[in-house]
Amino acid sequence: MTEEHLEKYIRITEKIRSPILRFVIDDKNFIPDKEDVISIINNALKDLESRKIILAIENYERLSVKDFAWIIKKIGSDSVGICLDTVNSIGAGEGIETTVTTLGPMTVNLHIKEFVIRRVDHKLGFLVEGASAGEGMLNIPWLLQHINPRCQSAILEQWTPWEKDMQSTIEKENKWAERSIEYLRNFFD
């Protein structure tokens, strides 16, 4: 999220007439502190507001959900919110309940990513993997009750575990997508 990238993608977002611009703050060569993030966004805020674009910052494992909430509150604009990914904050040691109760009220875009956590065979650790929506540990009805009503978009994001080869993995992903969409139709018009 450099100023140059943000400016570029605001122009692209406007050109394609999208009301939302999803951003991940970091890159492997760019890891700004929270104050820098706020400064970058504040410098772009007039452009976001005048173009009626909502910047959706995606939660991920480097920052805590409290850090993300602090950034959004500090900016204090309806043009900036959270792209809530239901699994990313597990990498920061934060569970789904903490993530959703903290960031749900600020959510403007939702990534529905189903998951399972299971102990590995040798009992020395856990494995976190994706699953078809409704077939894992994500309580989707509860999740949807805790998301900001301003959030008008949801993306099905799948963490499909690798199979024996690419074709088998793609086939599994397609089957999961079909089952997930069928399940999610129960919650969306």
DSSP class per residue in 116-178: EEEE-TTSSSEEEEE--TTSSS--HHHHHHTS-TT---EEE---PPP-SSHHHHHHHHHHHHH
The whole-number pLDDT of residue 188 equals 85
Q: What percent of the chain is predicted at pLDDT more than 90?
A: 96
Mean per-residue pLDDT over the chain, rounded? 96
Residues 6+ apart with CB under 8 A from 141: 187
Confidence tier at 189 by pLDDT (50, 70, 90): confident
Q: What number does CATH give the domain 3-184? A: 3.20.20.150
What is the structure's pLDDT at 18?
96
Token output for 96: 């789904």
Mean pLDDT for 55-77 is 97
Report d(CA 39, CA 69) in Å as an integer: 16
Domain ranges of the chain: 3-184
